[in-house]
């Protein structure tokens, strides 16, 4: 009986020590920054129409140069052909906006050894690689209203006019990023991070086809609203270029992060 009591006590102490160590290596924080997108309606304009973005971050410092991360981010992306400098794109006359809800996790590698409370290494650059899922819902402004586009089928999706079904609003992404971070004493750190998201969809902006579907056939198959929103060319052309099927859409989150250690400083420095 005494042996069992002693064993239970040792297990409890060991578990408490491990939990304490995990807390000392863990950080929780927030991101404040911006978001934007690159795609058919904004091919090269990084930071164009940047919108406010926020995020929550959990970081577990497994090693002085390796951390495990999980983050939830929210932002909005948008673009409008009316802002383009090219006559061809202004004539296309498409616009969209979409909220982005993202959940991702992965690894963070630092260039220099780094841990809170270090007298020698108080700052470092780092790279980030994650995998995640995000939720989108592209909408367009039409006659003063915001219209959800996915269910309409502006390129004939879900009808005999296209081999494609209506695209999913939940998609996979690969977040990649770079940043720098600095210790604020033993309990907090500040990071400045830029991240770009590789997606596997061309419909973040609802534009995925090279050309327009015939308006009469599209109106008959998916309704007159689908035909109106598919081809909004100012010159009324039926044969203009709608999008680019060879590339998928990208989006970005960037900003400043403040993180706080969840436990007391670890007496034993990380390797």
- Please give the chain's pLDDT, 271 residues, in tens: 444 343 343 333 333 344 556 778 899 999 999 999 999 999 999 999 999 999 999 999 998 899 999 999 999 999 999 999 999 999 999 999 999 999 999 999 999 998 887 778 789 999 999 999 999 999 999 999 999 999 999 999 999 999 999 999 999 999 999 999 999 988 999 999 999 999 999 999 999 999 999 999 999 999 999 999 999 999 988 888 899 998 899 999 999 999 999 877 665 556 6
Tokens for 194? Answer: 């830029």
Q: What is the pTM of this model?
A: 0.88
Domains of the chain: 24-261 (2.40.160.20)
* Beta carbons of 174 and 130 less than 8 angstroms apart: yes
Count of all residues that appear for the chain in the document: 271
The mean pLDDT of the chain is 89
């Amino acid at each position: 009986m005494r042996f069992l009591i002693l064993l239970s006590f040792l297990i409890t102490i060991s578990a408490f020590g491990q939990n304490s160590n995990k807390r000392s290596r863990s950080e929780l924080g927030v991101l404040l920054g911006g978001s934007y997108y690159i795609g058919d309606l904004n091919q090269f304009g990084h930071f164009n129409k940047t919108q406010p973005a926020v995020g929550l971050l959990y970081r577990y410092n497994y090693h002085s140069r390796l951390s495990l991360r999980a983050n939830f981010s929210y932002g909005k992306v948008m673009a409008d052909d009316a802002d383009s400098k090219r006559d061809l794109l202004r004539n296309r006359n498409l616009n969209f906006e979409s909220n982005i809800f993202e959940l991702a996790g992965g690894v963070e590698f630092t260039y220099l050894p780094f841990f809170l409370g270090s007298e020698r290494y108080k700052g470092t650059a780092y790279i980030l690689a994650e995998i995640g899922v995000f939720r989108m819902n592209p909408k367009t402004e039409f006659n003063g209203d915001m219209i959800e586009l996915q269910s309409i089928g502006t390129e004939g999706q879900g009808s005999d006019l296209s081999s494609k079904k209506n695209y999913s609003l939940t998609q996979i992404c690969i977040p990649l990023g770079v940043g720098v971070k600095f210790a604020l004493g033993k309990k907090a750190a500040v990071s400045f991070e830029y991240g770009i998201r590789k997606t596997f969809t061309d419909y973040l902006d609802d534009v995925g086809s090279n050309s327009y579907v015939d308006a009469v056939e599209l109106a008959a198959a998916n309704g007159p609203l689908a035909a109106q929103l598919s081809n909004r060319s100012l010159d009324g052309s039926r044969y203009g270029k709608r999008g680019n099927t060879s590339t998928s859409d990208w989006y970005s989150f960037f900003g400043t992060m403040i993180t706080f250690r969840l436990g007391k400083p670890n007496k034993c420095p990380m390797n």
